[in-house]
Structure 1
Amino acid sequence: MSLFRTKDIAAIVRQTEGGKTNLKRDLGAWDLTMLGLGAIIGTGIFVLTGTGTLTAGPALVLSFVLAGIACALAALCYAEFAAMVPASGSVYTYTYATLGEFLAWIIGWDLVLEYMFAVSAVSVGWSGYFQSLLAGFEIYLPEVLTAAPGAKDGVITFFNLPAFLIVFLVTFLLVRGITESKRVNNIMVAIKVLVVLLFIAVGVGYVKPDNWQPFAPFGWEGITTAAALVFFAYVGFDAVAAAAEETRNPQKDLPKGILWSLGICTVLYVVVTLIMTGIVPFMDFKKDMSHPVSLALKYAGQDWFAGMVDLGAILGMTTVLLVMLYGQTRIFFAMSRDGLLPKSFSTVHEKYKTPYGSTWACGLIAGLVGGLIPLDNLAQLVNIGTLFAFSLVSVGVLVLRKTRPDLPRPFKVPFVPVVPLLSVAFCLYLMLQLYAFTWMAFLIWLAIGVVVYFTYSRKHSKLNQQQQS
């Protein structure tokens, strides 16, 4: 039964209210919304829309709606927990308080797939856009430093240097402090949202409704398969919950930040997808799957603006890197503070008030993975990890409503148990649309996590030490 020992929620809250390890509280609802937009708007809208269109056709807009519904249901469950347990660690901390230590460890290990590997994947996409921008100025890097080994057919490559360097710079910024990171993120988010809005304003005049026919050429199967793929476009809103201990009024501001950012992004995704597929016949996205938004503008004869979109994509991916790496470091911080990871991961810098140990460790690992490993299937692996996390959060709401109905809940999920059950159903349905290889890799990753737990984490758990004393 020690596997299912839970942390007292009141003790978790007290742990965040005093002591020398307090993180700096400097975020409000607006900052959290911008943090969410920073995490969400990036690879999904600038890259995956092209791939998704080839799978679903113009009906990709329904794929985004389907994925958005799954996220919205999970977001409501996140919001209840985030307001009730305003501590670092996101779903890991929530699971520890409801379902027990072992499942908390599993979900924390699972979140490495969502955050750290997502950083690696996005860094590779960032590198591609950055090299394309440099090529416009006739600046070229040595071929061996442009991609991971084996990433380019017929070309010898050793290391993706731009991918590593951007993660290194983002890591340095996060170590400097949440205030500095917040300012940079807010500026870049404002610019990339402006670029998206300009695309909508410019592109809407070139839409040809005939391009929307046939609307769903691959039927419902194509729509759901694309939904499982473009779900990656929503990954990151849950990183807002990881900012609990750095939020001035977490009970009120965390639910606002989570739900506002998700709602804004869903609307933008739907509108951009409609315009893109209205400008370009969907099968023509094969010509440039990596730059679908730019391709739409070239079809519209707006080559001058295509370059601006490339710049917006670079800024968009930079903010994704910033927020996703931020979320991962705070989860490592919480797990280390509980004794499940080495103490160095929860060491807070005296001057900057940031967990610099976990930040540098996560940043260097993510940078090296992005520099050394081709990550063609990583989006699906990140998706299955995220959907699994969302499912556990939804189950956690049901468990806690039954076992601790007395706890104060500043924000409540409406229509319980319907909403949490629908959240689980949607997440499991999307998980089943993913490839068998993805499931195999996911299960292997979880098996490695189980080994780590029983060889290190279980013995070093502070909750275990308290019970033994």
Structure 2
Amino acid sequence: MWFNVVLTLVELTGLLLVILVGFFALGSGNADFSRVIIFETADDKSVFLAITGATALAFFSMVGFEDSVNMVEETKDPQIFPKIMLTGLSITGVIYVLVSIVAVAAVPIGELAASETPLLDVVRAGAPGVPIDAIFPFMTMFAVANSALINMLMASRLLYGMAKQNVLPPVFARVLKNRRSPWVSIVFTTLIAFALIIAVTTILPESVTASLGGTTSLLLLAVFAVVNVAVLILRRQSVDHKHFRTPTALPWVGVFTCAFLVGPWARLDDLIQYQIAIALIGIGVALWAVTWLWNRSVRGSSTRFRHPEDLT
């Protein structure tokens, strides 16, 4: 976790550098901030639908905050977590908005859209003397490692929690005796990650790999819609300890907003995302069915051969 904090600080440094370069370009007269308030679409779509599609795509940038929820039960004071996460979301949102503003102001939108390294182009345009080509590759590497690490931490804890609730085989709930970390889930998710890397780089067609980010956003938005409904239902239960309580209006806003962004109008004509999502959900349902049958058979056999005196 400390290594993850270091990676986050390195990634934050790169974004702050882009922001500072943007403001430097503004002071030098090399930025055109009038482009920030121009809303034009490249086709016959309305501005509203264009912003909707961009929002659904940009949602992928916020992936990671939901990962931390799965780590809360390992913290010393989980009650403060909601406020901390909302604070982190707010800070990240401000940083991303500033990066977007300075990027559009420093480089024309058409050039940003066509570039494979848009942030590098922003720094080159705002501060030509900065040796950006020697610095940013390392920052990019740290940023990728940061996202991968937090996702790996989350995935192992997610399998652990599902195993504890009998959704997955109980072997995934095994933990080390001293450190109490779910070692079986960690090993399994690591193998899954390697398999995905091989599949993406050598097996899957480019049309599929190009849609994986949008598919991730699609599935997470659907999950978040369900989570907000769960909040409205669970809050009806009384809790005898101190806990965080969100205003009632916010879960309703979350339900409708996430459900709206799941729609095809937010997919930017990339409907293959639904096909990938349906395939992944199908795999998940199949694995759940196998696990359910396995758990049922195990419980049945353990009851069938149990000594009569133990049945009490």
TM, length-normalised to structure 2: 0.82
Equivalent position of 2:7 in the other structure: 188
Question: Is the aligned partner of 1:258 residue 2:81?
Answer: no
The CA deviation at 1:210 is 5.3
SS in structure 1 at match of 2:131: helix
1:456 and 2:295 aligned: no
Report the counterpart of residue 411 of structure 1 in structure 2: 244
- Measured in 2, the distance between the counterparts of 1:377 and 1:407 equals 45
| 1:327 alignment partner AA | M
Cα distance in structure 2, aligned partners of 1:406 and 1:445: 36
Deviation at 1:198, TM superposition (A): 2.3
Bigger radius of gyration among the two: 2
Following superposition of structure 1 onto structure 2, how do residues 306-455 of structure 1 map, counting pairs within 5 Å?
A: 306-374=133-201, 375-402=209-236, 404-405=237-238, 408=241, 410-414=243-247, 416=248, 418-432=249-263, 433-434=266-267, 435-455=270-290
Q: Partners in 1 of 2:238 and 2:181 — Cα distance?
A: 35
1:294 maps to: 120
CA contact (8 A) 1:387 1:428 kept: yes
Which amino acid is 1:249 matched to?
D
- Aligned to 1:373, the other structure's residue is in SS state helix
Given candidates 21, 37, 52, the residue that maps to 1:202 is: 21
Q: Judging changes above 3 Å, is the alpha-carbon distance between structure 1 residues 210 and 263 closer, same or farther for their aligned structure 2 residues?
A: closer
Question: 2 CA distance for matches of 1:362 and 1:274?
Answer: 38
Indicate conservation of the 8 Å contact 2:18/2:122, yes or no.
Answer: no
How far off is 1:199 after superposition? 2.2
Q: Distance in 1 between matches of 2:240 and 2:120?
A: 50
Following superposition, the deviation at residue 309 of structure 1 comes to 2.5
- Alpha-carbon distance change, 213 to 273 in structure 1, aligned in 2, over 3 angstroms: closer
Whole-angstrom distance in 1 between the partners of 2:16 and 2:222: 33
User: SS at 1:438's partner residue?
Assistant: helix
Residues in 2 aligned to 1:203 and 1:398: alpha-carbon distance in whole angstroms: 43
Distance 1:454 1:236 in 2: 28
The CA distance in 2 between the partners of 1:196 and 1:281, in whole Å, is 19
The two structures, once aligned, show a CA RMSD in angstroms of 2.3
Corresponding residue number in structure 1 for 2:99: 272
**Partners in 2 of 1:400 and 1:455 — Cα distance?**
29
Q: Contact conserved, 1:381 with 1:442, CA < 8 A, in 2?
A: yes
State the match for 1:229 in structure 2: 57
| Stretch deviating more after TM superposition (423-432 or 443-452) | 443-452
Residue segments in structure 2 that go unaligned for 5+ positions in a row: 42-46, 202-208, 304-310
| C-alpha contact (below 8 Å) 2:36/2:101 kept by paired residues | no
User: Per-residue displacement from partner, 1:129-168 (whole Å, max 9, x unpaired)?
Assistant: xxxxxxxxxxxxxxxxxxxxxxxxxxxxxxxxxxxxxxxx
Counterpart-to-counterpart distance in 2, 1:322 and 1:442:
23
Match of 1:240 in 2: 68
1:273-323 Cα distance to aligned partner (Å, 9 max, x none)? 10011100010124423x111111122214413432222121111111111
CA contact (8 A) 1:211 1:277 kept: no
Runs of 4+ in 1 over 6 A off after TM superposition: none
Instruction: Give the partner amino acid of 2:105.
Output: G
In the TM superposition, residue 197 of structure 1 has moved relative to its aligned partner by 1.6
Q: How far 1:220 moved relative to its partner?
A: 2.0
CA contact (8 A) 1:211 1:280 kept: no
Q: For the structure 1 residues 211 and 394, does the alpha-carbon distance in structure 2 shift closer, same or farther, using more than 3 Å as the test? A: same
Measured after TM superposition, the shift of residue 431 of structure 1 is 1.0
Percent identical pairs in the alignment equals: 22
Q: Which amino acid aligns with 1:394?
A: N
Cα contact 2:218–2:262 (8 A) shared by 1 = yes
Q: Is the 8 A contact 1:236 1:323 kept in 2?
A: yes
- Structure 1 position 270, deviation (Å): 0.1
Q: C-alpha offsets along residues 6-55 of structure 1, whole Å, 9 cap, x if unaligned?
A: xxxxxxxxxxxxxxxxxxxxxxxxxxxxxxxxxxxxxxxxxxxxxxxxxx
Shift of 1:230: 0.9
User: Would the alpha carbon gap of residues 450 and 368 (structure 1) be closer, same or farther in structure 2, given more than 3 Å must change?
Assistant: closer
Distance change >3 Å, CA 308–CA 427, structure 1 → 2: same
State the one-letter code of the partner of 2:40.
Answer: P
Secondary structure in structure 1 of the residue aligned to 2:70: helix
Conservation of the 8 A alpha-carbon contact between 2:167 and 2:292? yes
Q: Tell me, what secondary structure is at the counterpart of 2:54?
A: helix
Residue 349 of structure 1 deviates from its aligned partner by 1.9
Rounded to whole Å, the distance in 2 between the matches of 1:272 and 1:210 is: 13
**Structure 2 match to 1:85:** none
Residue 217 of structure 1 is matched in structure 2 by 40
Tell me the distance in 2 between the aligned counterparts of 1:412 and 1:358: 32
Equivalent-residue separation in structure 2 for 1:361 and 1:386 (angstroms):
22
The amino acid of 1:429's aligned partner reads F
Q: CA–CA distance in 2 between the matches of 1:407 and 1:241?
A: 21
Change (3 A) 1:213 1:394: closer
In 2, Cα distance between equivalents of 1:461 and 1:250: 34
